Amino acid sequence: MAASWVSHAIWWQVYPLGFVGAFPSDQPPGPDEHRLRRLADWFDHAIALGASGIALGPIFASRTHGYDTTDHYRIDPRLGDDTDFDHLVAEARGRGLRILLDGVFNHVGKDFSAAAGWFSGGTFEGHSELRALDHDNPDVVDYTVDVMSHWLERGADGWRLDAAYAVPQHFWAQVLPRVRERRPEAWFVGELIHGDYAAVVEAAGFDSATQYELWKATWSSLNDGNFYELDWGLQRHNEFLASFAPLTFIGNHDVTRIASQLERPEHLAHALVIQLTVGGVPSVYAGDEFGFLGVKEERYGGDDAVRPEFDSPPMQLDASGVQVWGLHQYLVGLRRRHPWLHAASTSKLRLDNRHYVYRTSHGDDALVVALNIDEAPLPLRLEELGVHRAEVLAGSAAPPQEVIEAVVVEPHGWRILRPVS
């Protein structure tokens, strides 16, 4: 049973080492620079976005990118020290923001100090500098329980569990109940890429999983003009929602920026509308709310373009960035005004390659979302969709309207409607 606060959670995700310019860097910063504190300067921005929590990438001691941990109990010296973490938590708490940590417990860096029996003898996905842990070793179980509990007791609210797909489910099933005994309100999301999410979540004891299926279906259907793929993805999403609320995203630190992934810039709005009107726990990757570009490449350093350094706020935006920021603010705000969307399921009302109209609902609450990626307008008579009348809450070309019985969605446009009796 997930912690009660999660039903209102909207994350702003940050990759700290890149955000503060600590990695990659020709001259790595020292602990006396206290760069971790720079994140707190952006917390008011997260509030303005409408986020309720900060999802951090790795902040523990490592040699390079943070996923090659050398000491889980130590803040990365390039970011600062324990006092900087305490400062971050205090600044977050003062604003009502939660903190999610990124835990790498599948593998560690080659400089990690432990008994030989802690390692499986293999590497992680062929990376020679990443040593896989032996998850059948009870000492590794105890260590993971203690690390996770330590930082929860220091003020964190939950953990993203990196590469959870590579870790035996019985390992998590041993670890997580023991951590929950100490911190019952903590939330745990496993990084899963593909497979039977619901079965893994149940067997491992996660509260949530990263919804990569829906991420792919969203941009792929928009690029290919194939809303059948999105509808299939949302049917799968409904199945997951029956047992847990997935972590939804259209961008994160591991993938090409959504503004670069989409072939048509105007479809960024469609992707965001989808994410923020379906069930789950939404996460916005820092910079996406400004329309940042960045392509991930499969090479050494291939993540750098999607993990840039941020200057001090406020961000200086061009006209396009202002528009994308305003859209994020409005749609995150709409999500907050309709908190039932956390548990909402969807059903199609109209579907073809380039038009998708769906109902998103939970109990007696419902919205209707109309997406048009065609070159021609999409006229809709609501009665034909099983809706008698509706209010227009948001759209790409029309301001909110009073009660209507028909609507025309312009080419490459969208509408969010609220049915009324």
Does any domain span residue 199?
yes
Does one domain contain both 39 and 159? yes
Query: Does 1 reside within a domain?
Result: no
Number of domains in the chain: 2
The crossing angle, in degrees rounded to 10, of helices 212-224 and 267-277 is: 150
- The verdict on residue 204 lying in a domain is yes
**Contact (CB, 8 A) for 256 and 293:** no
332 touches 49 (CB < 8 A)? yes
Residue of 62, 104, 253 lying closest to 190 (CA atoms): 104
What's the sign of the alpha-carbon dihedral 356, 361, 364, 365? negative
**Pair 359, 367: CB distance under 8 Å:** yes
Structure tokens at 398: 């029309």
User: Same domain for 239 and 373?
Assistant: no
- What is the full DSSP assignment across 317-380? --HHHHHHHHHHHHHHHHHHH-GGGGG-EEEEEEEETTEEEEEEEETTEEEEEEEE-SSS-EEE
Q: Looking at the structure, tell me whether residues 255 and 365 fall in a common domain.
A: no
Last residue of a domain, one of 279, 314, 343: 343
Task: Kindly state whether residues 357 and 317 are assigned to the same domain.
Answer: no
Q: The domain that contains 387 carries what CATH number?
A: 2.60.40.1180
Question: Do 260 and 170 sit in the same domain of this protein?
Answer: yes
Helix, strand, coil shares, percent, the chain, to 5: 40, 25, 35
The maximal CA–CA distance of the chain, rounded, in angstroms, is 70
Distance CA 302, CA 111 (A): 23
Identify the domain boundary among 323, 343, 363: 343
Is the bond into 314 cis (omega within 30 degrees of 0)?
A: yes
Residue 399: give the domain boundaries.
346-420
Nearest to 178 by CA among 138, 210, 209: 138
**179 and 247: one domain?**
yes
Q: What global pTM score does this model have? A: 0.97
pLDDT, residue 126, reads: 64
Q: Same domain for 285 and 395?
A: no
Residue 260 burial by CB count (10 A; 0-12/13-18/19+): exposed, middle or buried? Answer: middle
- Predicted pLDDT at 3: 84
Q: Give the pairing type, strands 378-381 and 406-409.
A: antiparallel
Cis upstream peptide for 24 (omega within 30°): yes
Within this chain, do residues 320 and 357 fall inside the same structural domain, yes or no?
Answer: no
User: What pLDDT is attached to residue 296?
Assistant: 97
pLDDT given at position 408: 95
Pair (41, 180) in one structural domain = yes
Assess whether 99 and 230 both reside in one domain: yes
Q: In the 8-state DSSP scheme, what is residue 410?
A: P
Residue 218 in any domain: the answer is yes
The verdict on residue 113 lying in a domain is yes
110 within some domain: yes
Q: Which helix (H) or strand (E) holds 259?
A: helix 258-261
Token look-up 């509990």 returns 149
Structure tokens at 86: 């305490």
Residue 54 in tokens: 């900060």
The tens-digit pLDDT sequence of the chain (421 residues) is 678 999 999 999 999 999 999 998 888 888 889 999 999 999 999 999 999 999 999 999 999 999 999 999 999 999 999 999 999 999 999 999 999 999 999 999 999 998 889 999 778 776 778 999 999 999 999 999 999 999 999 999 999 999 999 999 999 999 999 999 999 999 999 999 999 999 999 999 999 999 999 999 999 999 999 999 999 999 999 999 999 999 999 999 999 999 999 999 999 999 999 999 999 999 999 999 999 999 999 888 889 999 999 999 999 999 999 999 999 999 999 999 999 999 999 999 999 999 999 999 999 999 999 999 999 999 999 999 999 999 999 999 867 778 999 999 999 999 999 999 8
Same domain, 307 and 351: no
Out of 299, 320, 343, pick the residue that ends a domain.
Answer: 343
- CATH number for the domain spanning 297: value is 3.20.20.80
Same domain, 216 and 336: yes
Q: How far is CA 225 from CA 279, 356, 358, 368, in A?
A: 23, 11, 16, 20
